[in-house]
């Protein structure tokens, strides 16, 4: 079915004319990475970087053409920069006035894609958007994000949970949700689980699908999960970021009003080095770092309860002090946390009476208090208007 839909979309795109070559976008070779699954279509148009702004109407026309194909529930098209080898870049056109007092052109050295609707921030009805991030993988960031989101929902808050890890989505497994999202008009309905709303690329593709996408396609997928999902009004959205400092981090910092970021690390030196890089990255894009969490702080033997500091202990607290960032708390390495996460039942929901669940609730409470305190101090950078 997906091959049939791809062919139908490609036929529709063959009716969209490229103003640069006077050929249709398919014949001109502009259409790249066209995929269709369960009615969700994504593709990119490769255009010269210096012409991206003036070709925004072309992107809109191509997206509209794809959306009009029978069987397409939602279509997303992004512009990606392409420059033939040896070509000399043309001077960029003078920025147009948008009434905001600054240009929307991509900064030198910034991402190659020209984000659509760059002047309009996504998720305007979400009061606070918080990124849960890490400098490297394997530190338990996703487990932390899920349990913090469930803990915030247990406080009576309206909570959204967005899986921004396109290449390695883990939310479907951790939430115990495998169903496909329903659609309402042109928008997806987020999955409801454990008192919160969730969305992940993992809900839209098969579990064993390898997402072999270039950066612009990742950015397009993120924009779709933010802008084409019926999130409604939320008190807070927790974003489970992919590890590192790449396209997803830049997209989130540019396209939504992030209230702040929380960095998750283990106590060992190699993880702390990457955690420091994560802090510096968010500082460079003017996103406040709300604090550090030390995960796998110590191991408790499930039989005798003996405590062993496998990865060391206190490293994240010490680094937080050096960087002037709040230390939000430490979380133990316990078998129950891993087992329940694998079973799709976060420990905060499945065993709220446990000490481990209490750690997550304490950090979530501190995070919520800190967000509201920041608003009360009228910090213009992090207020969502």
With respect to residue 87, please indicate whether it lies within any of the assigned structural domains. Answer: no
Residue 192's SS3 state is strand
- Last-in-domain residue among 50, 66, 81: 81
The rounded distance, in Å, linking the Cα atoms of 309 and 330 is 12
Instruction: Report helix, strand or coil for 321.
Output: helix
Say if 106 falls within a structural domain: no
Question: Does residue 97 sit within a domain?
Answer: no
CATH number of the domain enclosing 361? 3.40.50.300
67 and 132 in one domain? no
With respect to residue 111, please indicate whether it lies within any of the assigned structural domains: no
Q: Which of 54, 81, 108 is the last residue of a domain?
A: 81
pTM of the model: 0.69
Do residues 132 and 74 share a domain? no
Instruction: Please indicate, yes or no, if residue 267 is contained in any of the structural domains.
Output: yes
In the predicted model, residues of the chain with pLDDT beneath 50 are: 82-119, 375-385
Which range of residues forms the domain containing residue 222?
126-376
Q: Is residue 120 part of a domain?
A: no
142/253 same-domain check: yes
Q: Are residues 144 and 77 in the same domain?
A: no
Question: Residue 133: beta bridge partners?
Answer: 263
Distance, CA of 99 to CA of 165 (rounded, Å) = 34
Residues 235 and 341 in one domain: yes
Q: Retrieve residue 168's tokens.
A: 């390695």
In terms of Cα–Cα distance, which of 164, 186, 244, 251 is closest to 216?
Answer: 251
pLDDT digits (tens, 9 = 90+) for 348-357: 999 999 988 9
Q: Which residues contact 377 (CB under 8 A, 6 or more apart)?
A: none
* Residue 71 shares a structural domain with residue 181: no
The CATH number of whichever domain residue 21 belongs to comes to 3.30.300.130
Report if residue 146 sits inside a domain.
Answer: yes
The domain tally of the chain equals 2
pLDDT in tens, 64-120: 999 999 988 888 887 776 433 333 333 333 333 333 333 333 333 333 333 444 447
Give yes or no: residues 236 and 328 share one domain. Answer: yes
Residues 66 and 151 in one domain: no
- Examine the fold and report which residue of 18, 53, 81 is the final residue of a domain before the chain moves on: 81
| pLDDT the model gives residue 137 | 77
Are residue 290 and residue 157 in the same domain, yes or no? yes
Residue 159 region, left (φ>0) first, then alpha (ψ -120 to 50), else beta? Answer: beta
Any domain includes 86: no
**Do 237 and 344 lie in a common domain?**
yes
Same domain, 154 and 14: no
Residues 34 and 183 both lie in one domain: no
């Amino acid at each position: 079915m997906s091959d049939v839909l791809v062919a139908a979309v490609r036929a529709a795109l063959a009716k969209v004319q490229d103003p640069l070559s006077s050929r249709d976008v398919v014949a001109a070779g502009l259409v790249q990475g066209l995929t269709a699954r369960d009615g969700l279509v994504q593709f990119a148009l490769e255009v010269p970087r210096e012409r991206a702004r003036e070709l925004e109407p072309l992107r809109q026309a191509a997206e509209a053409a794809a959306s009009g194909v029978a069987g397409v529930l939602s279509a997303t098209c992004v512009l990606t920069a392409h420059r033939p080898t040896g070509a000399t870049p043309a001077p960029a056109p003078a920025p147009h006035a948008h009434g905001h007092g600054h240009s929307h052109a991509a900064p030198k050295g910034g991402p190659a894609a020209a984000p659509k609707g760059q002047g309009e921030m996504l998720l305007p009805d979400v009061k606070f958007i918080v990124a849960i991030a890490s400098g490297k993988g394997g530190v338990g960031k996703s487990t932390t994000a899920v349990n913090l989101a469930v803990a915030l929902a247990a406080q009576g808050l309206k909570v959204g949970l967005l899986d921004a890890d396109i290449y390695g989505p883990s939310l479907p497994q951790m939430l115990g949700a495998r169903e496909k999202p329903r659609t309402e008009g042109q928008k997806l309905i987020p999955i409801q689980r454990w008192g919160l709303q969730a969305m992940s690329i993992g809900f839209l593709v098969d579990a064993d699908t390898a997402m072999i996408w270039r950066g612009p396609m990742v950015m397009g997928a993120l924009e779709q999960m933010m802008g084409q999902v019926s999130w409604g009004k939320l008190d807070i959205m927790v974003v489970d970021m992919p590890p590192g400092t790449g396209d997803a981090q830049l997209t989130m910092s540019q396209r939504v009003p992030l209230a702040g970021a929380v960095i998750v690390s283990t106590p060992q030196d190699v993880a702390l080095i990457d955690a420091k890089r994560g802090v510096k990255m968010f500082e460079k894009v003017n996103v406040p770092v709300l604090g550090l969490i030390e995960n796998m702080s110590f191991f408790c033997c499930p039989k005798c309860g003996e405590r062993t500091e496998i990865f060391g202990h206190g490293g994240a607290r010490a680094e937080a002090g050096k960087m002037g960032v709040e230390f939000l708390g430490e979380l133990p390495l316990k078998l129950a946390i891993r087992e329940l996460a694998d079973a799709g039942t976060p420990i905060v929901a499945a065993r709220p009476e446990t000490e481990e669940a209490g750690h997550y609730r304490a950090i979530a409470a501190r995070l919520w208090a800190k967000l509201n305190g920041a608003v009360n101090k009228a910090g213009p950078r992090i207020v969502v208007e």
